Amino acid sequence: MMKVFYFSLFFFMSSLWVQLSAQSISHQTASALDAYTEVTNKCVEQLTETMDCLESFRQAATFYQERGHDYNFRNHKSACIGFIDDYYIQNQKVKAGQLTAGDRAALGRPYDAMLKVYGTIVEKCREIETYVNLEHYTTDTDMAWAEGKLREIQKEYDNFRTTKRKLDATIEDIYRKYQPYNPGNIHHVAEQRMRDAMQLEAEMLDSWAYNLTPKIPVNGIPNAAVVRNLNLIDSMFRWSEIPKVSLYYKNFVHQMYYGGQSSKSYWLDRNIYENQLTDNHANSGYKAFINDLNSGLSFFNRFCTSNDDFRGIALTAYCPTFVLPDEPVEPKVEPVGYDTLAISDITPLPAEKEISPQTAFALNRYIEFVNHAVRVSKNIPHVCINYNHALNSAFHAQRNPSRFSYSYPDIPLSYYESALYHSKYIPEHYRTTLNRQAKQVWQIFDELQQSLKQLELITYDKSDVKPVYEFIYSRLRRISHLIDQFNLKTDALYSNIKIIYDSYPRNMADPWVKTGTDMMAIMDECRATITGMYSYIRDSSGVLPATDSLNHKAALAYLNKHDNLDGINAARYGTSSGNIERYYNEIIDGARELGKLAQTGFAANPYNDSRRGTSPSYTYQEFVYKYNHLIEYYFDNLVEIPDAEIPKSEFFNPYVDFEPVSLLKQQKKMTFYTFVPPAGMGNQGDEPEVEQVDELYVSMEGYAVNHMVLLLDVSSSMSNENKLPLLKKSLKRLLSIMREEDKMSIVIYSENARAVLKGVSCKNRKVMKELDKLSSAGTTHIKDGVELAYKMADKYRIEGGNNRIILATDGQFNIPESVYNLISEKAENDIVMSVFYYGNKNLMPEKIAKMAEAGNGKFSHVTTENTDLVLVKEAKARRLKK
């Protein structure tokens, strides 16, 4: 019996050892596989450096072609790349002998193919060396040889990456044959997590390439891929426990999670218009991302090869590639009006448990999104005030409009996308409302930045739109409206965030919760003071905000200071410990200072020059600045100290030991800009009022049967989303209320005219299919289109019905007198023509408007605000006779 017992115990312990064992691959096998990886990495290192050399050669060839100077070729008198040091090749051959014959054969095929491609690249680079040294460029017409050789090398770069990945896959197969993944072993779990993170980064980099001619932009930062990785890698490391398996693993997490994530946010948020004019920004981002990935890879490789408790294999570095574009992809500046979204009120549901770290983090992401939007927009109101003043002076002096200049340093795109992604941690009954509010804030912010850039391009004569005063003033009025809407919508968003946060119970016995509650009460009073000053300054309420409550809560927080901080200081917060009391004191002192300043009213404005004087916006800015300063440098830093991120970022630090607490951040505010038109200009620049159309989208009951002929300009200029795509959306909405007996024809014209739909019922699926097919291309020729449209109108004319032709265009073109005569003649036969104009409202051509007048129809300038209204009014233009 004892033998059976000992045998069973031995079997059990052996099984347990296999399960928990960190390594089953032999040192010799792993070392042999690493030798293949080492050669590959040397190749990748050379190819990465060679890209800079090839870019320099391309620039030298272009410079010679344009100016005839050859001194830039002097850097290319030696080849850009050389063969791999023979030491690494021989080392691989020796160590390969430690593998089985089958493994060597499997590895040999992709390995030899990879080295062959690498050798081809070296030979082609040497041909460039010969080309330069023998001055063949002097007889190279249009640099055709140089261009062709670069394209050959580009192809070989792609071939190298293909063969390298085949070798990678073979090495991985052999590794897993000897060392299968063991989910029960912590080292295997850490290894796999690192592999998964690097695979995500490699997939992101695969979505674009280095541009060897950055002045011809084609790439740009691939926003969607970067956003995807930001969110996925965040989820991979933020809420999962980080095993303390190795210092190399800690360094990997720090590099990929903190360094790499910050790098992605940096390059993504700076992918603005100026940085899209060339691919220099995208190229720098591409290099930075590769460097981040390969830096993380170095820690992974040391984790696998220099770890006493684990033995894995090294991985190969990421190999870049490049493109040689012919045609640029130009960035567009087209302000798109924000959508007025239906926002439901939030009804708080009292929670039973304290707020989770995930939910608190998600709520704070919305606040961080707004705070970064405020940070990059804070100077806009005063830039616009000063420009408005200068523009009015130029208007009265009858000079050309002044030049407007403002550029965003970056945009908070990464914060916006992160807020939407992490909203999954917020209870569902709150989530939709917060996401709708965040979306509207982003749309307002986006329209604001696009409007500012459009204003700059127009006043610098870099746009097709003529810089007329009426247009510039209309833009300034819109910007003023957008800033007001931004402030209004962000206040509403923060109000809902506060309601949700306050619906969770708090453990007031926790010193951090009590401290956070006291500090938040002070900041809430500061916010109320700012709101009161807004009413006093802009709305001229004449009543200064009361500050008794603010002073009382500041004094109370000071009296509670030691009770609060003594409990906090018992814990260890690493490098943040020394700042806790300073932040606490600064918040109290700053709040009291803000209260005192509020009692001075307009005297708080330090400016007395003739341009600004006692400008309401500049006065209000003094209060907003102090409030935002308290948030950015003290309050938010204080509430971040007990956050769960510190133990992760310093998880090998013995001076970090505390239970994380989730506190809510404060949201910043922005000042305002009031548009001031010049005296004597009247209502120029006013925005047209937009009627409500929901009541019209009920039914067609009581209206005549329709035959609508859509005469659509599908020239390339109509491709903008506020033109043909906008009309298609409105038409689809209109179809929802049209009847079986209502008919529709569609005539399109650009280079030529043709009917794509002929008298089809609006309920027929063909209508929707043809609308989906519509696209824009070519130039505009109107005459044939008008004639064909009237043929359709005549053929399918409905007696006593609403027979209408709707011309949709954005262009200016010559209209023969015969066309006007045809329109007038058909109008007498009860076929009406209306015109939808999608171009610039300050450049509306009289000839097109005259077509609507001749056809007894309406001329409408269509925008995102009125597109549904003008269309449904055409469908309901004729009522049935009673």
Q: Residue 853: pLDDT band by 50, 70, 90 thresholds? A: confident
The most distant pair of C-alpha atoms in the chain lies apart, rounded to whole Å, by 114
pLDDT of the residue at 688? 37
Distance CA 4, CA 389 (A): 98
pLDDT of the residue at 695? 47
Picking from 77-86, 164-173, 239-248, 526-535, which range would have the lowest pLDDT averaged per residue? 239-248
Higher pLDDT: 264 or 330? It is 264
Phi then psi for 807, rounded to 5 degrees?
-90, 120
Beta strands 322-323; 210-211: pairing state: parallel
Tokens describing residue 238: 């933020």
Look at residue 539 and tell me whether its pLDDT is greater than 80.
no
**Taking the domains of the chain in order of start, what are their residue ranges?**
25-180, 511-660, 694-875
**Candidates 1.10.3470, 2.170.140, 1.10.760, 1.20.120; CATH matching 511-660:** 1.20.120
User: Could you read off the pLDDT of 196-223 as tens digits, one per residue?
Assistant: 999 999 999 999 999 999 988 887 889 9
Quickly count: other Cβ atoms within 10 Å of residue 597's Cβ. Answer: 17
Average pLDDT (102-129) is 96
Look at residue 645 and tell me whether its pLDDT is greater than 70.
no
pLDDT of the residue at 730? 83
Phi then psi for 422, rounded to 5 degrees?
-80, 0
Look at residue 286 and tell me whether its pLDDT is greater than 80.
yes
DSSP, res 635? I
Look at residue 625 and tell me whether its pLDDT is greater than 90.
yes
User: Could you read off the pLDDT of 657-715 as tens digits, one per residue?
Assistant: 556 678 999 999 999 999 988 876 544 444 433 334 444 555 788 888 999 999 988 87
**Which burial class, exposed, middle or buried, applies to 491 when counting CB atoms under 10 A from its CB (0-12, 13-18, 19+)?**
middle
Q: Is residue 307 helix, strand or coil?
A: strand
CATH numeric code, 25-180: 1.20.120
Nearest to 388 by CA among 676, 640, 782: 676
pLDDT of the residue at 774? 80
Q: DSSP string covering 546-597, please? A: P-HHHHHHHHHHHHTHHHHHHHHHTSEEGGGGGGHHHHHHHHHHHHHHHHHH
pLDDT of the residue at 864? 75
% of the chain at pLDDT higher than 70: 87
pLDDT of the residue at 71? 79
Average pLDDT (354-366) is 93
Higher pLDDT: 822 or 332? It is 822
Average pLDDT, the chain: 85
Q: Is residue 484 helix, strand or coil?
A: helix
Average pLDDT (168-173) is 97
User: Could you read off the pLDDT of 68-102 as tens digits, one per residue?
Assistant: 888 788 888 888 898 999 999 999 999 999 999 99
**Candidates 3.40.50.410, 3.40.50.11540, 3.90.1150.10, 3.30.70.360; CATH matching 694-875:** 3.40.50.410
Are both 25-180 and 511-660 of the same fold? yes
